[in-house]
Chains A and B, each alone.
Chain A
Amino acid sequence: MPFSLLSLKAVSPEIFLVLLASFMVLVDRVVSSKSFFFWVALLGTALTWWLCREVVGSQFASYTADPYGFFLKTVFLLALFLSVLISPVYASRERFHFGEYYGLLFFAVCGMMFMASGTDLLVIYLGLELMSLSIYVLVALGWRDARSLEGALKYFLLGSLASAFLVMGLALIYGLAGTISLSEIARVLSIRTDLSVLTAIAFFLIALGFKVAMVPFHMWAPDAYEGAPTPVTAFMSVAAKAAGFAALGRVFLLAFAPAHPAWSQLLIPFAVLTMFAGNILAVVQTNIKRLLAYSSVAHAGYILLGIVAGTKEGLSAVMLYLLIYAFMNIGAFGVVVLLQKESGVGEDIFEYQGLAKLHPLPAFFMLLFLFSLTGIPPTAGFIGKFYLFRSVVHAGHTGLAVLAVLASVIAAYPYLRIVMLMYMKDPQREVSLAPSASLWVALTLSALGVILIGLYPGSLLTSALYSAF
């Protein structure tokens, strides 16, 4: 394709994001107004989304702005938007450089967008690296807390290992197929599937499994989630996971589609292990960030089921679940931020004791998010789970669906425990809330999302199904 400025249209949202992020980092030392960066970040996010919508259908080299990419970019940008809304109080308390902070978030999202829309393995790899490097730094932003550095280091070391696997897989595939284009790979794989191909697929599975926190490659998650500044935790638990699944979906259901029978058998034990290990380990946690981290591992397990299904419906269930997960998980982390007076404080679940009596509204929000995470109707979490399990049954894996629902019963316990502490115990001491209008806006938006999608998911389901390939 001859290069022209017009052909850059497909990547214009990414270019815009990079320019904006660079601008924020550069003017960080010049502009001292925190609210300036906040508003630029919010507007920038909204504008990027609008740009993404405008360019759907266009293509630039190995980058295609298709509906699938657009749906997932919506998830990333939604996660970014909500994370920005919950950031200001925390960020100013921890004395972040705002320009740098938002700039890094933008860089990360840019990487994610490449992961969602890349149509060759190299573009996806580059996107993954851009995202990962930005997030390593974001996790370490709370460097005054030793846990933050530890988390960042762990995430960095294991993440680098994952990258190594990805490059190995990439090299193997290139060696075998002579191409890195996803559709070309699919064409070659439809003729041959042998052990070396499966090895390459396994390398990809390990690398992307790291990013979505699939057991046993989840070891970094609890430490990184606990150590990271809470808004970053919220962001990475949703957006980075969504990006991992975006790449997983595209690579496995497009390039590796012909080998689906083989790799789905490989994936099933991982998915089951992830659901159960995540939920069982969440039961014993007393730090709310660690609890949500393990629950996030478990959710990765449910979402993997959609990939196992390997159908259009399964993929659309994955996409829908990620969107719903953005609302409920960032909402839950929003309540955590609301209660945190300084980093490390307000993370113990016993701090939530009697919250309903002291502060009924945040407690109610938390109740809503937790019931949604459990998957109880009429919340959005139920719709997400239902649609996922439905796609798994449709693909003929009824036994897997039974295991998934059993795992989700285990999940109910840790969530209910927090509800129990909030509503059924008396407060032991006064808990003051971080005053922040934007945080309330984020919580309200998330709550509305959880309720409205729960009651009327129709159009969202249709668009997820339309966007899946």
Chain B
Amino acid sequence: MMELKMAEFPWLSLIIWLPVAGALLLFLVPRRAEGLIKGLALVVALADLVVSLPLWFNFDHHWVGFQFVEKHPWIQALHAQYFLGVDGISVLFILLSALITVLCILISWESITEKVKEFYISLLVTSAAMIGVFCALDLFLFYVFWEAMLIPMYLIIGIWGGPRRLYATIKFFLYTLLGSVLMLVGIIVIYFKAGTLEIPSLMQMGLPYKLQILLFLAFFAAFAVKVPMWPVHTWLPDAHTEAPTAGSVILAGILIKMGAYGFLRFSLSFFPKATLALAVPMLILSIIAIIYGALACLAQSDLKRLIAYSSVSHMGFVTLGIFSLTGNGVEGAILQMINHGVVTGALFMCVGIVYDRTHSREISYYGGLATVMPVYAAFFMVFTMASIGLPGTNGFVGEFLILLGTFQAKKWAAAFAATGVILGACYMLWLYQRVFCQRVNPQIAGLPEMNLRETLALLPMLILVLWIGIYPKPFLSFMHVSVGHLLQHVHSVGSVPGITQLIKEGLHAVFPA
């Protein structure tokens, strides 16, 4: 039985609404006071990070249900409540979101020169909505946060993005909207079938098998686009490439995690039978994403696009881990989501740092950068190694757990996925070689080394890479209980008709013999 531990102090509300309050405050600051705007945004984001720390220190690792729970009536006619809480699956994302917001502000300090005020307002609002998504325990509230984030994100990419930003931004918006409106219908159907929108109650609910399949697909539309899974991934490279550095970091760091989080929070726990039935197709889609993403990386000439495609590949590992439906796989997937947020976020920051200096993202533009910016090269090296999954870095722990879990469940899937690891090493090392080694390209000869602000922005990421790589226990310990409970729930439904049976039945329904 899942129990709720009510909050003694509304920490979650504070974490969500502090950035909103900060954004409102920024509205009042005159446009010309740019220094004040940036300073204020940074202070707010730092404060938000500080108030999210109690989640780390006061989290009860042995508690099965949700913690820090707040529950208030909201729209009674719709049975929607203001209902917040975290468990081992969501808590780390909130901390990561708060951290990434701070780093995004640091990294945008000089690169954003136009409409500064609007930029930081958008950033803070995005941060609030993202954190809200991970805290919401009411489906309606969840959907509101999920969609509300589209507005500031749309503006961030569209206003401060690159030359093809208009195309990228509208693609991003329409893809994600299309996915999530189907989820909206799913949410409404769930409400009428189950009579509640409370996530903890719904997690105990057993819906009929066929309905589970349909609802799984409706939610899948939203989550697969967000993750993004192949073949609905095409918005991501465009959005990543055109977004300003902070936008890319948020996309990679948090936004695309929301899809995988959705699978864990909703698909597995609400539709366990459908999950069991559809796990194999999900594994296949994940493997395609892993290999396809990695191969696409090899063909890229743009730094950001390469990292964007590597995200497709890495997120393929995450969904692979989730749908392996084993303890190791799911824990590895959650850890890998954090890792990917840290590493890819850091890589995007790194690209932003040189882009600010050269205004070029072409890989061929660089060469021999290690000689020109040695400290930068060292940082980049660590993140490259983490991205490849070298032992001692966080990437290793995550990938290892995922492959282990997948191997336990489906050996063939693990074998295919492992090729992705090899391909990952190929494209990342090749990238490093082209950018940092060889003879120094004359046009980058005089580039200044990273300054203190930039180093400070990357340092927390570096620490996380090594910390999780060497001693992942504190992070994994958050998840054990929640993941164990979740998987027990999934596997307790026993055997279900497989996908072939489903297709046969579906065909039979459409074309009765």
Contact = CB atoms under 8 A, between A and B. Distances in A.
Nearest to A398: B189
B33 to A, nearest CB: 16
B78 A390 contact: yes
A357 B189 CA distance: 43
B77 A461 contact: yes
Interface of B: 74-78, 115, 140, 143-144, 147-148, 150-151, 154-155, 158-159, 165-166, 169-170, 173-174, 177-178, 181-182, 184-185, 188-189, 191-192
A409 B174 contact: yes
Contacts of B181: 405-406, 408-409
Contacts of A456: 74-75
A462 B76 contact: yes
A280 interface: no
A402 B181 CA distance: 8
Which 9 pairs show the lowest CB-CB distances between chains A and B? A461-B77, A405-B181, A377-B144, A424-B158, A393-B188, A409-B178, A377-B147, A390-B188, A458-B75
Contacts of B177: 376, 409, 412
A458 B80 CA distance: 10
Given A378-B148, A401-B185, A413-B170, A465 B77 contact: yes
B76 A420 contact: no
A29 interface: no
A423 B184 contact: no
Interface in A369-384: 371, 376-378, 382-383
A457 interface: yes
B78 A423 contact: no
A408 B147 CA distance: 14
Contact of B151 (A376, A394, A401): A376
A402 B185 contact: yes
B165 A405 contact: no
A389 B188 contact: yes
B321 to A, nearest CB: 31
A270 interface: no
A386 interface: yes
Given A416-B154, A416-B170, A420-B169, A401 B188 contact: yes
A389 B75 CA distance: 16
A461 B78 contact: yes
A204 interface: no
Contacts of A387: 78
Contacts of B178: 406, 409
A405 B185 contact: yes
15 contacts: A377-B144, A382-B144, A390-B191, A393-B185, A393-B188, A398-B189, A401-B188, A406-B181, A416-B154, A416-B173, A420-B158, A424-B158, A424-B165, A458-B76, A461-B77
Contacts of B151: 371, 376
Contacts of B170: 413, 416-417, 420
Nearest to A402: B185
Q: Classify chain A: how many residues form its interface, as a range.
A: 35 or more
A183 to B, nearest CB: 28
Contacts of B184: 386, 389, 405
A382 B185 contact: no
Contacts of B144: 377-378, 382
A423 B192 contact: no
Interface in A351-401: 356-357, 371, 376-378, 382-383, 386-387, 389-390, 393-394, 398, 401
Nearest to A401: B185
A423 B155 contact: yes
Q: Give the one of A383, A406, A412, A462 with max B CB within 10 A.
A: A412
Contacts of A419: 154, 158
Given A412-B177, A458-B74, A423 B159 contact: yes
Contacts of B74: 456, 458
A461 B140 CA distance: 15
Contacts of B76: 458, 462
Contacts of A413: 170, 174
Given A377-B147, A390-B78, A458-B75, A424 B169 contact: yes
Given A419-B154, A424-B159, 20 more contacts: A376-B148, A376-B150, A377-B144, A383-B75, A386-B184, A389-B184, A389-B185, A389-B188, A409-B174, A416-B154, A416-B170, A419-B158, A420-B158, A420-B166, A423-B155, A423-B158, A424-B166, A457-B77, A458-B76, A462-B76
Nearest to B155: A423
B192 A394 contact: yes
A356 B189 CA distance: 40
Contacts of B165: 424
A377 B143 contact: yes
B147 A412 contact: no
Given A377-B147, A405-B184, A416-B170, A393 B78 contact: no
A412 B173 contact: yes
A311 to B, nearest CB: 12
Contacts of A401: 185, 188
Contacts of A398: 185, 189
Nearest to B160: A424
A390 B177 CA distance: 18
A387 B184 CA distance: 11
B77 A376 contact: no
A187 to B, nearest CB: 32
Interface string A425-469: 000000000000000000000000000000011100110010000
Contacts of B182: 402, 405
A401 B158 CA distance: 30
A377 B148 contact: yes
A378 B165 CA distance: 25
A378 B132 CA distance: 13
A412 B174 contact: yes
B83 to A, nearest CB: 15
Contacts of B75: 383, 456-458, 461
A382 B140 CA distance: 11
Contacts of B158: 419-420, 423-424
Contact of B77 (A423, A424, A458): A458
A294 B163 CA distance: 31
A92 B213 CA distance: 61
A228 to B, nearest CB: 31
A170 B188 CA distance: 38
A387 to B, nearest CB: 7
Among B74, B165, B188, the one with the most A-chain Cβ atoms within 10 Å of its Cβ is B188
B453 to A, nearest CB: 28
Interface string A120-142: 00000000000000000000000
B150 A393 contact: no
A77 B165 CA distance: 43
B174 to A, nearest CB: 6
A462 B184 CA distance: 22
Interface in A333-360: 356-357
Nearest to B73: A458
Nearest to A316: B77
A393 B189 contact: yes
Contact of A386 (B78, B166, B189): B78
Contacts of B155: 423
Contacts of B148: 376-378
Nearest to B145: A377
Contact of A462 (B77, B150, B173): B77
Nearest to B141: A377
A394 B189 CA distance: 8
Contacts of A416: 154, 170, 173-174
A409 to B, nearest CB: 5
A444 to B, nearest CB: 15
Contacts of B154: 416, 419
Nearest to B170: A416
A204 to B, nearest CB: 30
**Interface core residue of B150, B169, B185 (most chain A CB under 10 Å):** B185
A413 B170 CA distance: 8
Nearest to A411: B177
Contacts of A394: 192
Nearest to B31: A360
